[in-house]
Amino acid sequence: MTPSLLQRKDGNGFPLYDSPMMESGFSPQVMVAEVLSSHPVAVSVFLRHRMACVGCLMARFETLEDAARVYGVPLDELCIELAGVESSQQCRRME
């Protein structure tokens, strides 16, 4: 079984954030409030995972990585879903 992106570490023991997460445009270190304010369609992803980040005062202080850890959501999946919702929204704008 291949380890998830969060389980992979570099030579110093730090997590490797490559491929899907970084390509998604949603860095694990971005604040939840920033994601929600700049990408309103992301609300559906948080709600689908039963994450109470929407409207939470802590969203200004927690990163996507923090929120994923607190709610037990795999970070790589969260970032990919956020990117998917955003790209589908952009496609609708073009139509």
Higher pLDDT, 89 or 35: 35
Give per-residue pLDDT as tens, 16-72: 554 444 445 678 999 999 999 988 999 999 999 999 999 999 999 999 999 999 999
Q: pLDDT value at position 26?
A: 79
Query: Cα dist. 86→6, 16, 19 in Å?
Result: 22, 24, 18
pLDDT above 50 for 4: no
Quote the pLDDT of residue 84. 87
Q: Rounded to an integer, what distance in angstroms lies between the CA atom of residue 83 and that of residue 42?
A: 9
CATH homologous superfamily for the domain 28-94: SP0561-like (1.10.3910.10)
| 78 neighbors 4 (Cβ within 8 angstroms) | no
Amino acid at 84: G
Measuring CA to CA, how many Å separate 73 from each of 10, 12, 89, 91? 22, 25, 23, 26
pTM to 2 decimals? 0.69
